[in-house]
Each structure stands twice: as C-alpha cells, then as structure tokens.
A and B are shown apart, each in its own frame.
Chain A
C-alpha cells in the first residue's frame, strides 16, 4: 500500500504526488542519461529512433487520444517536418533555428488540415486525414524543386554552435532532450485548462459549448499542436534517416503511429511512449520469431505485418485501455494491496449505441 503525507493542498495535484514516483522516475532519467557510456553505437542509434517515435506518438496522442480527433494520416506531418527542416538547412539556416521553424511549418499545415475537421468528425475525419496523407506523399514526389522528388534529398548534418551533433552519442542526447522537453510541455498542458478543454471537446461537444469552450478553435488548435510536435519528430527523423525519399513516409507509417497510440492506451502520454516502444520493438521480435520457425515460412515477408495486426487485434479485443491500462491496473493493484478488488476494472457489456447522431 502507498501512503502520501501531504501538508499542502497543492501537493495533491502536483505532477508526481508520490515520493516513490519521484525517486523511480529520477532513476529512470539518470539511467537514460548514462546509457551512451555503456551502449554500442548501434544500440544508441536504435534508441535515438525509438525516442523520435515517442515524440511522434505523443504528437498523435494529443490529437486522437486527448481531443478525440482521429487521424490516419499523421505520417504527412512527419514528412512535412522532415522535408521542411532539411530544405531550410540546405538554404543555410543553422540547425537550432531550422528545427523549431520546421515544427512551426508543420503546425501551420496542421491548422490548415484542422479547419475541415471542424465540419467533419469521427469516421469522416479519419478518411480526410488518410486521403491527405496520400496526397502529401504524391506532392512530395512531384515537387522536385524543393524535395528532390522521388530521387530523394540529402540531409545536412546537424550542428550546434560549431559542435557537430551527428555522432551517435550527441544525436542520442539531442533526441533525449527533445523527448523529455516535449513530454514535460505536454504533461503540463494536458493537466491545465487547455488539456481539459481538449478532453471536454472529445467527450461531449454539446457540454463543452455550454461551458463556454470554443469548440472549433480547440479542434483546430489541437491539430496545430499535434502537427507541430509530430513535425518536430519528423525533423529529427530526417537526420536519423540521412537521405529523404517519399517512401519513408507512407501510409504504413501513419498506421504505425495509430497502432502506437491505440496499443499504448488512448488519452495518456505514458501510453504514447509505451506504445512507441512496443511497436518499434516489433520488427526485432518478429525477426527473433522467424529464427524459430521452419525455413520456408521464415523467409516470407508477410510475418511482420501479420504480427502487427495480431497484436492490435489482441489489444482492441482484450485490453482496450492499452498498455497504459495494464500499467494503471498494476499500479492500482500495488497501491491497494492487499485490499485490491479483482473486478475493479471490469468492463460492462453494452448494446451498440448508434453514433449516427453524434
């Protein structure tokens, strides 16, 4: 069981109200900072990539998990961030300026996409974003002047005040810095007024209007914020990939991001991170699985996508709250042990509620 000894009201709603949490997360951050000292170059590169995916997943989580706006085309914002950043750097802008600017450009694109989101919702929005993603992929291919078209575009190396950041260790710290910064910013936003209005718009637009929340502005703003964060991830990804081509940002990447958000657990930033870690581990797990299978089956290339589908189906059917849900249940178990009630999180059977009249 866990007890807090708070002496002030404000300690109750602090970000980490429990001492044990503060200690454990502190240790985790210390560990992440120390990783480059005992990890191989390959592992550092992989960790950097996972961190970039965490940022992108958090960006999508803000939109889909917190504001309830489904986006099946977020790879488009990753692409916009990546190409904008690379292009700005080739125009001579320093890394430290080009990165936030690329994020802003992506945020602008998000605002534009968010405007039709005011009129359509749910399923229709999913399709608009899907279509948008495919259109962006094609436009990148055709806009040869800026993006190098289907031939690709070389990404200049990142540097800060003369120091090169392209070494695996330096780049890992860059990724870690941005992941922690984005996480902190979003955590603070989501527990303040802006975050609450996102959730309000998601759960009941009618009530949100009645409470004075400018629903349309919130929807567009959420799109902008989400696109900006995802664009930042894209800009970092540009350096990770090194050479940009349109087929690094296909529909499959969009669906991967959605998988991260759904499997991780909608409506929580912790879920976004857990989901990103799981999905990025998936190829490795599948490779390990293939090693165990007879040769003929192992050579086929459909295994990865099959496993991804199976994992998603498993979570949708049996763990709809996602990895975060599992985390919360385990934490509830730990916090209330030995008084934990087994059916605390039991789901109730319900009839289909038509969403035609949302």
Chain B
C-alpha cells in the first residue's frame, strides 16, 4: 500500500478504536438521559473511579484482569445505583438545570474523593493484551484496540436486545417516555431509573477499565465526558445507535485532524464539531426533533 493510504488506514484504525471508547461512554450518558432527562456530568468520574479501582486491584492486590473486570463493573453498577437512589432521585420534578447542577456536584465530590483516596499520580496497569498487536491488511492494530471495538459492538448489541425483548427493557422505555403513565401501569419507576443508572455505571466501568491502559489512569480522564457529549450531539440526542455512530465519528475526526489540519486543532476538534452541529443541525444525525404545543 502507498504510504498515504497506509497512514490513512492507520489513522482510521486508531480513530475507530478511540471512537469506540467515546461511543461506550456516550452510550451510558444517553441511557441515563433517555430515562430520566438528567444529563450525567459525573459519568466520566464513574469511569475514573473504575479505572483507579482496577489499578488498585490489579497492581496492588495482584488480582487477575479477568476477575477484576466483572468485579469492578459490578461495583460501579452498584455505585451508580446508589447515586441515583440516594441523591439524584430527590430532585425529581425540578427543572433540568437542577439535575445538571447536581451531577456536576457529584462529579466534583467523586473527583475529590479519588484524589484523596488514590493520590494524584498517574498510574497504569497491564491487561492481557498489552504490548501485543496484530497486522491487518498491512496496518498494525493494537490487540487492545481490537478488544475494545469488539466489546463496544457486543455491549451495543446486548443493549439493543435488552431494550427490545426483555420486560425490564420495555419498562425502561415506558418510564422514559412518561413516568406517571408507566407508574400507573405497574412499572416501579424509581427502581427502574436506578437500574438504568446501574447499567450506565457498568458501561462506564468497562470503558474506564479498557481506556486506562491506553491513556494513563488519572483524574483528568473525566474530560472524556465532554468528548462523549460531543459524540452524543453529533449522533443525535436520545438515540442509542446515534451515540455509537457519533462516538466513532468523533474518534475518526480527531485522528484525521491531528495529521491533516494545523497543529493544536486535534485537541479542540471534538468541541468544534459540537458547536458546528448545534448551530447547523441541532438534531444531529439520528436525533429526534421536539417542539412544544401551545
């Protein structure tokens, strides 16, 4: 392959890998937003807690990666459930802004606790795929990236099946569209919403555990929330497939911008996309338009 094409292909591979992580984080945020109309600014911090916990268990306690992954995922699910049940639930009925503020507050608190509990140094840990890579069509792809892409697809597929075919999934959809009606039909709305949070927590944990070996385990990982927001906006708010598509696109755009556009644009590429999409096409690629009846 010519070197240009090779570069492009390599960038594409990287972009899809990073984008998959964004997609996973975006999925979690969209899940919560669809259910409760709360935009969870603390999602990135759930990711950070998961990453640090994984580090502590793998590096310090010496547990196997395969044990740590489900353990931390479960723990994050429980943590997220608790956050909703104990804190976020109390602002039901208040305007959306209150929810945003509350999640920002929770984000701050988690960040503070992580700094205090785990220290401020960046950490890292080994995964079964660290250091190994595969050659596909002449380009080198890190094995970890392949695993990430695979797991994102798997999780997205599982979620789709879950919402389509299980009672709980349908109940979640009902609660997300009309809480009162769902409640009157026997859906335990509060519990369902907390379960949605738990689900989102699990996706955040998986994203965090896979992301940390690529970048470092650091409290600044929370910034991924913002990139995920850009992904959601691009894909269309309220759309789960949109979140995945948006995430991967943002990943690709960043990689291309890093090479083909001027220096420094890569860092703000995601945010420029967000601004442009909201100005030109607020509904995103797959989003729903909403109006108000007066």
11 CB-based A-B contacts, threshold 8 Å: A116-B275, A119-B278, A123-B100, A127-B233, A142-B264, A206-B292, A302-B115, A309-B107, A309-B108, A352-B93, A353-B93
Interface residues of A in 281-315 (CB under 8 A from B): 297, 300-310, 312-313
Complex alpha-carbon distance, A126 and B293, angstroms: 24
Interface residues of B in 218-268 (CB under 8 A from A): 219, 226, 229-230, 233, 237-238, 263-264, 267-268
Complex alpha-carbon distance, A130 and B271, angstroms: 9
Contact of A306 among B98, B116, B271 (CB under 8 A): B116
Contact between B264 and A309, CB atoms less than 8 A apart: no
Given A116-B279, A128-B274, A135-B271, also A302-B112 (CB < 8 A): yes
- Does B53 belong to the interface (CB within 8 Å)? no
Q: A134-B271, A305-B112, A350-B92 are in contact. List 14 more A-B contacts (CB 8 A).
A: A123-B100, A128-B274, A131-B230, A131-B271, A300-B120, A302-B115, A302-B116, A303-B116, A306-B116, A309-B107, A317-B90, A317-B102, A320-B94, A355-B95
Contact residues of A: prevailing secondary structure: helix
Contact residues of B: prevailing secondary structure: helix
- Does A70 belong to the interface (CB within 8 Å)? yes
Contact between A309 and B119, CB atoms less than 8 A apart: no
Given A130-B226, A300-B119, also A352-B292 (CB < 8 A): no
Contact between A351 and B293, CB atoms less than 8 A apart: no
Contact between B37 and A316, CB atoms less than 8 A apart: no
For B108, B272, B292, which residue has the most chain A Cβ atoms within 10 angstroms?
B108
Compute the total of residue contacts between A and B using a CB distance below 8 Å.
153
The smallest C-beta distance from A138 to any residue of chain B, in angstroms, reads 5
Interface residues of A in 333-350 (CB under 8 A from B): 349-350
Given A124-B282, A352-B93, also A312-B36 (CB < 8 A): no
- Does B158 belong to the interface (CB within 8 Å)? no
Given A127-B274, A351-B180, A357-B291, also A317-B87 (CB < 8 A): yes
- Report the nearest B residue to A348, measured CB to CB: B93
The smallest C-beta distance from B188 to any residue of chain A, in angstroms, reads 15
Residues of chain B contacted by A350 (CB below 8 angstroms):
92-94
Contact of A128 among B87, B268, B275 (CB under 8 A): B275
Residues of chain A contacted by B116 (CB below 8 angstroms):
297, 300, 302-303, 306
Residues of chain A contacted by B291 (CB below 8 angstroms):
357
Contact between A126 and B274, CB atoms less than 8 A apart: no
Residues of chain A contacted by B180 (CB below 8 angstroms):
351
Interface residues of B in 4-24 (CB under 8 A from A): none
Contact of A316 among B101, B112, B267 (CB under 8 A): B101
Given A138-B264, A312-B104, A351-B180, also A305-B37 (CB < 8 A): no
- Does B179 belong to the interface (CB within 8 Å)? yes
Contact between B292 and A358, CB atoms less than 8 A apart: yes
- Give the bracket for the number of chain B residues in contact with chain A: 35 or more
Complex alpha-carbon distance, A311 and B36, angstroms: 24
Complex alpha-carbon distance, A33 and B102, angstroms: 38
The smallest C-beta distance from B84 to any residue of chain A, in angstroms, reads 13
- Report the nearest B residue to A116, measured CB to CB: B279
Complex alpha-carbon distance, A317 and B99, angstroms: 10
Contact of B229 among A127, A141, A301 (CB under 8 A): A127
- Report the nearest A residue to B230, measured CB to CB: A131
Complex alpha-carbon distance, A303 and B109, angstroms: 9
The interface bits of chain B over 270-294 (1 if a CB of A lies within 8 angstroms of the residue's CB, else 0) are 0110110011001000000011111
For A306, A308, A320, which residue has the most chain B Cβ atoms within 10 angstroms?
A306
Contact between A131 and B275, CB atoms less than 8 A apart: yes
Complex alpha-carbon distance, A152 and B272, angstroms: 24
Complex alpha-carbon distance, A124 and B97, angstroms: 11
The smallest C-beta distance from B273 to any residue of chain A, in angstroms, reads 9
For A262, A307, A313, A357, which residue has the most chain B Cβ atoms within 10 angstroms?
A313
Contact between A313 and B109, CB atoms less than 8 A apart: yes
Complex alpha-carbon distance, A127 and B229, angstroms: 8
The smallest C-beta distance from B182 to any residue of chain A, in angstroms, reads 11
Given A122-B96, A300-B116, A301-B115, also A352-B108 (CB < 8 A): no
Complex alpha-carbon distance, A317 and B271, angstroms: 31
- Does A173 belong to the interface (CB within 8 Å)? no
Residues of chain B contacted by A122 (CB below 8 angstroms):
96-97
